Amino acid sequence: MLLFSLDPESSFGSSLAAALDISLSPFEDRSFEDGEHKLRPLVDPRGADTYAVCSLHGGPQQSPHDKLLGLLMFIATLREHGAARVTAVVPYLAYARKDRRTKPFDPVTLRYVAQLFEAVGLAQIIVLEVHNVAAFQNGFRCTTLHLEAHRAFDAVVPQIAGAGALAVASPDPGGVKRAQLWRESLAEQLGMPVGFAFVDKRRSAGLVSSENLVAGDVGGMTVLLLDDLIASGDTMKRAALALHQAGAQQVIACAAHGLFIEPAADVLADAALSQVLVTDSVPPFRLPAAGPVSRKLRIVSAVPLFAQAIRECRDSWLR
């Protein structure tokens, strides 16, 4: 088994290697003066079960386009030099939010990205909490493994939520299924009833509208507000305000991916959100190191989820 980590901006790959009790495989990343790169494995991949780790978020050094192209070319290189199977380990999958046409002549970028991965001979892809699971699974013809972020949050919920009444909520109707799955999982794990709610929200041309309508009873409860990602934070703030108006005692924002684009630091500082939980799929480099948000931010590692998935993939392949 070979494990390569292509993301220089994150320690996710090295943490995953430690969890699997293996060493990262070496590779060359050579930059040319015109901006081109060459990625070359420094070990022979022939006949190996090979994994390439790269979270496709934009960062201080590389854009999502740079990372995607680098990952695609590295997968093709591994296949060309005899790797028996190549798995892409992608904690954050870029372009996954655009999974259907909502305007005339819209692109369906999730499907285009899937076609690119398939074109270079990818055997399977492992991702964490995509925007639309059904669209993700239908978009790829290779094997897909979708990991649910709430499994990473399960371990910390008893610490942060206390012993009072608890509910899981979605900030919009589109995330209802995601929130329902966590509600069911938590109720079984905690051995107690867990409430459910969702907040009305509509988005058109990048503008969000909401009437602060809450479906479900959250009176006196700690509400875990679950979404796939936090970008500007506006959706979470709007939903939190609506939940407080409906009687929630406190609202904790939970999301797989913390993109934290401007003005997230100011928006998430709002008192309507008592805490913010995200995984380590995206480093929180856009947030200030000190300030109101940093004091309420908690990062929960998704590495154990990926390590377990890779072990199961490897054992299945060896059988």
Whether pLDDT at 219 is above 70: yes
Whether pLDDT at 160 is above 90: no
One domain, residues 117 and 163: no
Residue 318 buriedness (CB in 10 A; 0-12 / 13-18 / 19+): exposed
Query: Taking residues 51-55, what's their average pLDDT?
Result: 98
One domain, residues 65 and 171: no
For residue 9, what pLDDT is reported?
A: 77
Lowest pLDDT segment from 7-11, 100-104, 203-207: 203-207
One domain, residues 226 and 310: no
The pLDDT tens digits of the residues spanning 122-151 come to 999 999 999 999 999 999 999 999 999 999
User: What type of residue is 205?
Assistant: A
d(CA 301, CA 4): 19
Lowest pLDDT segment from 10-14, 61-65, 314-318: 314-318
Confidence label for 158 from pLDDT (cuts 50, 70 and 90): confident
For residue 209, what pLDDT is reported?
A: 53
One domain, residues 91 and 210: no
Parallel/antiparallel/unpaired status of strands 37-41 and 124-128: unpaired
For residue 207, what pLDDT is reported?
A: 53
Stronger pLDDT, 290 or 259, i.e. the higher one:
259
Average pLDDT, the chain: 93
For residue 50, what pLDDT is reported?
A: 98
d(CA 51, CA 268): 35
d(CA 259, CA 286): 8
One domain, residues 66 and 185: no
One domain, residues 129 and 245: no
One domain, residues 136 and 223: no
For residue 223, what pLDDT is reported?
A: 97
Q: Which residues pair with residue 89 across a beta bridge? A: 53, 126
The pLDDT tens digits of the residues spanning 270-305 come to 999 999 999 999 999 999 988 889 899 999 999 999
pTM for this entry: 0.93
> ∠ at Cα 277 (263, 274), nearest 5°?
75
Query: Using H for helix, E for strand and C for coil, what is the string for 27-86?
Result: EEEEECCCCCEEEEECCCCECCEEEEECCCCCCCCCCHHHHHHHHHHHHHHHHHCCECEE
For residue 210, what pLDDT is reported?
A: 55
Q: Is 70:54 a contact under the CB 8 Å cutoff?
A: yes
Return the axis-axis angle of helices 12-20 and 303-318, rounded to nearest 10°: 50
Query: Taking residues 12-32, what's their average pLDDT?
Result: 96
Structure tokens at 99: 């999974």
One domain, residues 275 and 191: yes
One domain, residues 188 and 270: yes
Count of domains forming the chain: 2
Residue 188 buriedness (CB in 10 A; 0-12 / 13-18 / 19+): exposed
Confidence label for 309 from pLDDT (cuts 50, 70 and 90): very high
One domain, residues 158 and 253: yes
One domain, residues 241 and 261: yes
The pLDDT tens digits of the residues spanning 85-136 come to 999 999 999 999 998 898 999 999 999 999 999 999 999 999 999 999 999 9
One domain, residues 283 and 241: yes
d(CA 307, CA 151): 13
- The Cβ of residue 282 has, within 10 Å, a number of other Cβ atoms equal to 28
User: What type of residue is 49?
Assistant: D
Domain limits for position 130: 2-148+304-318
The pLDDT tens digits of the residues spanning 183-202 come to 999 999 999 999 999 998 66
Parallel/antiparallel/unpaired status of strands 222-230 and 166-170: parallel
Q: Is 256:57 a contact under the CB 8 Å cutoff?
A: no
Query: Which strand ranges, in their side-by-side order, compose the sheet holding 275-279?
Result: 214-215, 195-199, 166-170, 222-230, 250-258, 275-279, 297-300
The pLDDT tens digits of the residues spanning 28-41 come to 999 899 989 899 99
d(CA 241, CA 260): 19
For residue 165, what pLDDT is reported?
A: 93
Tell me what percent of the residues of the chain surpass a pLDDT of 70.
97
Q: What is the CATH number of the domain that holds 40?
A: 3.40.50.2020
For residue 75, what pLDDT is reported?
A: 98
Whether pLDDT at 3 is above 90: yes
For residue 203, what pLDDT is reported?
A: 55
